[in-house]
Chain A
């Protein structure tokens, strides 16, 4: 039942044998050491497992690892090749996170938004982040960090 898949993870070519029932989140964390995606709800509701497939954010808890054969996967680790991004710096300046559990999902979702829309309105930022649950901050410092960066 095992199958070999080849894909690109954060710029690196990976070849891996997976079982069809292995979930992407599990493979990224446990087999490939990419620990930024986290398991919050395990059913698509919270956004903490967010990664990008071909430039689009997805919930890695709802993707089978075998599906990413031939695709390009980016986790937060992959955005940081040359250090913190301006977006991340803005999050630090605004003290946007407390525990940080939601941070990878928030950062990837905001990155996806800014790639499409350099000057998002506040409502557009809210919509882009919705479905990324944060239990600590009340969202305001997260949204402020993005608004400030783009104004």
Chain B
């Protein structure tokens, strides 16, 4: 791209595609089934960039912002539904989220910048499925399921089966994710989200960690950006569930992190740094989640790193 000081935009998107904005899910599914290489557009913060970079070359872009049913945040039958059109800003502003899932508020606040959060969606985030995504640990810690509509009907698949590899999910050609469902844990609980970046402010994650501490003494621990897909740290959970959380137990758990995650070195951090910080974050996250469970601890939205 050529650019001069006055912000002249020199190279437009060369690749040609058609654009459709269906009014119903059925209409969307028909288009998705009939076109050769469709791309689904919600916020566009990933998709438009990928088209510019020629990573994606759709023949038709299907804009789902006209599907009102997908723009909802609902809490029904003890389950939170986040529709595919829901942006991170919608989550930050939602009363349901603040009251029932404050840790989602905490996560959404760390996603990119306001200008991105006003467009970018949770569902788009998990469909792009980049390892550094912020919504991966959310789905995995809450044992969420992904609702997928297709011409043969609707299917629900658990988060653990959704993420297959970087940029690869269980979504099949012709299908559309309509939303994600997060069951509300049965016991009282509190959470802590820690996103490590190179600086405070807008950055992609070097390490992500979500901890849920439950009143029955169990924990759910999920890491992001330290493996090809989000890692639910089952070995650590097995070690600490139901135990008294002592400094020596935390030390043992920190050692186990080396078996759970497989960080790589890239432009944002070395694998050694990621490994080291994952342990630091685990300890601080545990403290914060447990304090919050006991009614104290840092306010949601305050970083503990």
Q: With contacts A3-B19, A20-B18 known, is A63 near B119, CB below 8 A?
A: yes
The tally of CB-CB contacts under 8 A between chains A and B is: 119
Residues A36-65 near B (CB distance < 8 A): 37-40, 42-45, 47-50, 53, 56-59, 61-64
Assess whether B12 is in contact with A56, with CB atoms less than 8 Å apart. Answer: no
Report how far A123 CA is from B9 CA in the complex, Å. Answer: 33
For A63, the closest partner residue in chain B by CB is B44
- Interface residues contributed by chain A, number (CB under 8 Å): 47
Knowing A3-B19, A39-B3, the reply to whether A21 touches B13 (Cβ < 8 A) is yes
Inter-chain contact A57/B114, CB cutoff 8 Å: yes
Q: Is the CB of B61 within 8 A of A131?
A: no
Q: Check: A10 CB closer than 8 A to any chain B CB.
A: no
Segment of B45-53, B72-80, B162-170 in the binding face: B45-53
Across the interface, A58 reaches (CB within 8 A) one of B13, B41, B65, B119, namely: B119
What residues of chain B lie closer than 8 Å to A97, measured between beta carbons? none
Q: Which of A30, A53, A69, A127 has the most CB of B within 10 A?
A: A127
Chain A residues within an 8 Å CB radius of B293: none
Residues of B within 8 A of A43 (CB): 49, 52
Contacts known (A20-B61, A131-B113); A67 close to B89, Cβ less than 8 A: no
Q: Could you tell me if B12 and A23 are in contact, using CB atoms closer than 8 angstroms?
A: yes
A residues with CB within 8 A of B: 1, 3, 19-23, 25-26, 29-30, 35, 37-40, 42-45, 47-50, 53, 56-59, 61-64, 66-67, 69, 101, 105, 109, 112-113, 126-128, 130-132
A-B contact pairs, 18 of them (CB 8 A): A20-B16, A20-B17, A21-B13, A23-B13, A26-B12, A37-B7, A42-B3, A44-B112, A44-B116, A58-B119, A64-B44, A101-B5, A105-B115, A109-B114, A127-B109, A130-B113, A130-B201, A131-B202
